[in-house]
Amino acid sequence: MSERPGPTTRIRVTELSGPSVRQRRDDLATEEPLEIRLTAPDGTRRTVAITMRTPGHDFELAAGFLHGEGLARHGDIASIAYCTDEDLPPEARYNTVTVRLRVPVPELPALDRHFLTSSACGVCGSASLDALRDRCAPVPSGSLKLTPDLLYGLPDALRAAQGVFGKTGGLHAAGLFSSDGALAAVREDVGRHNAVDKLVGWSSMAGRLPLSEHVLMVSGRASYEIMQKALAAGIPVVCAVSAPSSLAVELAREFGLTLVGFLRGERCNVYAGAERITG
């Protein structure tokens, strides 16, 4: 069995500083492929996704991806384990996850079209709002209310919890916060979508879904895929350090999510769902 990859990889680099040149060691964020395979009770097997990710919390990544795409809920999953199939070379076994289902493998043509792909930003989901309407209902308005001061504190709290970023400077992060601003969990990955999948997978495996009293904070921009994953997990508020896309805003407004962008210092833009922000 080969050695299990970690979240960081140490290399030697040549550092230039003014006229000086020196050799030193540096830590990089590890980037490795992860293949997600499904196995049904009747023995049917299918690969549903291949994504580039930072090793760590791989089972959460698989569970979160399947939940976000509507392929398998937590109750549908019997077990998740690294693959030991004989067709895999030893060095690939920690890069392949087998999800054993209690139900048949989904027969969705979209699997072949959208998910068998490789991307440093993660695996993208449904390509249109029409597909999302078929499986997701709007988020209830609920009782969640947030003050501007609470929002302003989220980026620093997320940054302080990014352990691997502190070593490498090269990872996205997603943080899940409770309604009082307390950090519930944070996940890091080279792909921002993967970081969110890991958080959703953690919540799903712990029986915490839906996350109707929580806020999702992401370190980059708010894309359609990020909003789709938040909607599937029942997260009513999504905050991002950078800008949202036009489709992310459209999704938020149609499905009743609050979307906050350019959250930096003591300022931000609220693109949808401003009724959850008080004061």
Which residue of the set 83, 121, 136, 239 is catalytic?
121
Per DSSP, helices labelled H in 12-122 are: 58-68, 109-110
Instruction: Answer yes or no: 121 catalytic.
Output: yes
User: In degrees rounded to 5, what are phi and psi of residue 132?
Assistant: -70, -35
3-class state of residue 186 by DSSP: strand
Peptide bond between residue 109 and the one before it cis (omega within 30 degrees of 0): no
Higher pLDDT among residues 86 and 191, named by residue: 191
Write down the pLDDT at residue 117. Answer: 44
Is 177 contained in some domain? Answer: yes
Is 251 contained in some domain? Answer: yes
Given a cut of 60, whether residue 122 has pLDDT beyond it is: no
Is 102 contained in some domain? Answer: no
- Number of domains the chain contains: 1
Tokens of 51: 């994504």
The CA distances from residue 124 to 89, 128, 190, 191, in Å, are 27, 11, 14, 11
- The enclosing domain of 173 has a CATH number of 3.40.140.10
Is 7 contained in some domain? Answer: no
pLDDT digits (tens, 9 = 90+) for 243-267: 999 999 999 999 999 999 999 999 9
Write down the pLDDT at residue 112. Answer: 44
Instruction: Measure the CA angle with vertex 171, ends 167 and 174; round to 5°.
Output: 115
247 labelled ligand-binding: no
Is 169 contained in some domain? Answer: yes
Q: Whose structure tokens read 């003014």?
A: 18
Write down the pLDDT at residue 116. Answer: 47
Measured distance between the N- and C-terminal CA atoms of the chain, rounded to whole angstroms: 57
Residue 35 and residue 96 in contact, taking contact as beta carbons nearer than 8 Å: yes
> pLDDT grade, residue 91 (50/70/90)?
confident
Mean pLDDT over the full length of the chain:
88
Averaged over 15-24, what is the pLDDT? 93
Residue 179 and residue 199 in contact, taking contact as beta carbons nearer than 8 Å: no
pTM of the predicted model, to two decimals?
A: 0.89
Task: Quote the domain boundaries for residue 257.
Answer: 148-276
Averaged over 38-67, what is the pLDDT? 94
List strand residue ranges (DSSP E) for the chain, in order. Answer: 8-17, 20-29, 32-39, 45-53, 77-82, 96-101, 172-178, 183-189, 214-218, 237-240, 258-264, 267-272
Averaged over 44-60, what is the pLDDT? 93
Averaged over 208-231, what is the pLDDT? 95
How far does Cα 148 stand from its chain's mean position?
Answer: 25
Is 261 contained in some domain? Answer: yes
100 labelled ligand-binding: no
Percent above pLDDT 90 for the chain: 70
65 labelled ligand-binding: no
Given a cut of 50, whether residue 118 has pLDDT beyond it is: no
d(Cα 194, Cα 121) in Å, to the nearest integer?
7
Is 224 contained in some domain? Answer: yes
Tokens of 224: 């359609």
CA atoms within 13 A on the CB side of 78: 11
Is 59 contained in some domain? Answer: no
b/e burial code for range 48-85 (CB count within 10 A of at least 16 → b): bbbbbbbbbbbbbbbbbbbbbbbbbebebbeebebbee
**Which one of 42-46, 82-86, 163-167, 270-274 scores highest in mean pLDDT?**
270-274
266 labelled ligand-binding: yes
